Amino acid sequence: MSSPEAPPRQLRYVEALCEAFDQEMARDPSVFVFGLDVDDHKAIQGSTKGLLAKFGPERVFTTPLSEDAMTGIAIGAAMAGMRPVHVHIRMDFLLLAMNQLVNIAAKAHYMWGGQVKVPLVVRSMIGKSWGQGAQHSQGLHSMFMHVPGLKVVAPSNAHDAKGCMIAAIRDDNPVIFMEHRLLYPTQSEVAAEPFTVEPGKARICTRGDDLTVVGISNMAQEAIRAAELLHEVGVAAEVIDPIWLAPLDIETIAASAKRTGRLLVVDNGWTMAGASAEIIAGVAERVDGVRARRMGFAPTTCPTSPWLEEHFYPNPGTIAAAAWTLARPAEKPWAPSPQSTKLAYQVQFKGPF
């Protein structure tokens, strides 16, 4: 991370993203932003607001509903020297572009012997709550992590959103940029000047000696809230946000787990063959004797009813309870009171999108 001297301001996640586009498009004429709805009056929750007026319709444009071809077109344009940012309003829709992303984007540099590069950013957001359901809520990062040649990033706050987006745009490789809808209104300190949050470097969010908790994407925020609940009962959790999932900073996680001896990985996705499995395997290969647990989506399709959805996701209460059991195996199970859990809940969004 290279944060500059200028005084930071509080920015919302979407404003931080927008500032990244604004600054990078001004800096580099080869950058363009496209995808369904990027140029409409809602401007992807404000994350592309003002770009059309400033940079014009050649560099900010909507597309037909043709994810497959539009991804291929972005890849070709990237090979020809441009730097496309392709926006998808849900991560689920990336499944329509898998052929292009996995068979072409990931492999182009390698299978054509280094003759071409694919400096492409693929933005997508994960939905949660208010009926997002089966096809608007999926965190599919582990599918992309599996494929050599793709970088995957899941910033969990406004600062990282800007720094990761600038790093992704400047990267000469395809970057799957995973946003979370519930993070969009959240604020954090963001430097006004351009800066990067570089690939392959995790952040230790809270210090603690009792256990290591890794939170991915939105779950980094939930894990920090869980750490606050745990603090009230004397358990010190070291929360780590990997930020970049590929390349993954397994060394920082392994070093923490070595010290605490206990590792809980909370993913914003399913656990089976997922990022949590990869992180625990990576730590196990490096450090002996770490007790590990993982949490993620329930092994079901995401339901829409709030009474069911409540049990689909890890939350600060369930994370804190799992962490307690891991950190205090000899003691009785504990869970924070429903009231304090509720207070730690993230503000859920309400509205059609």
Partner 1 sequence: MPKAFAASRSDIERIYRAIRRIRRVEEVTAEIYPSDKIKSPVHLAIGQELVSVGVCDALRPDDVAGGSYRSHAVFLAKGGDLNAMMAEMYGKDTGCCRGKGGSMHIGDAAVGVAGSSAVVATQIPMLAGFALALKREGKGRVAVVFLGDGATEEGCFYETLNFAALAKLPLLLVCENNGYAIHEPIAKRRARPDGLCAVAEAIGVPARKITDGNTFAVRDAAAAAIARIREGGGPEFIEVQVYRWREHVGPNEDFDQDYRCRSEAEPWMAGDEVARLAALIDPATRQRIDGEIEAEIAAAVRFAEESPAPAPEELYADVFA
Binding residues vs partner 1 (CB under 8 A): 58, 63-64, 66, 68-82, 99-100, 103-104, 108-119, 148-149, 151, 172-173
Q: Where are the alpha helices (DSSP H) in the chain?
A: 13-27, 51-55, 67-79, 98, 108-111, 141-145, 158-170, 218-232, 250-260, 275-286, 306-309, 316-327, 338-344
For 29, phi then psi, to 5°, come to -65, -10
Catalytic residue among 19, 67, 222, 238: 67
Report the length, in residues, of the chain: 353
Supply the minimum distance, in Å, between the C-beta of residue 74 and partner 1: 6
Query: How near is the Cβ of 55 to partner 1 at its closest, in Å?
Result: 12
Query: Is residue 296 a contact partner of residue 266, using CB atoms and an 8 Å limit?
Result: yes
List of residues 6+ apart from 188 with CB closer than 8 A:
10, 11, 16, 157, 158, 159
Q: Which of 144, 157, 85, 91 is nearest to 118 (CA)?
A: 85
Catalytic residue among 88, 136, 141, 180: 136
Comparing CB distances to partner 1, the nearer of 105 and 229 is 105
Catalytic residue status for 67: yes
295 and 271 Cβ atoms separated by less than 8 Å: yes
Q: How far is the CB of 76 from partner 1 (least distance, A)?
A: 2
Q: Which is nearer to partner 1, 51 or 70 (CB)?
A: 70
Nearer to partner 1 by C-beta: 66 or 135? 66
Q: Which is nearer to partner 1, 200 or 303 (CB)?
A: 200
Between residues 28 and 193, which has the closer beta carbon with respect to partner 1? 28
HSE-CB for 117 with a 13 A CA cutoff: 13
Handedness of CA 167, 198, 203, 178 (dihedral sign): positive
Q: Smallest gap, in angstroms, from Cβ of residue 73 to partner 1?
A: 4
Residue 311 designated active-site: no
Catalytic residue IDs: 67, 136
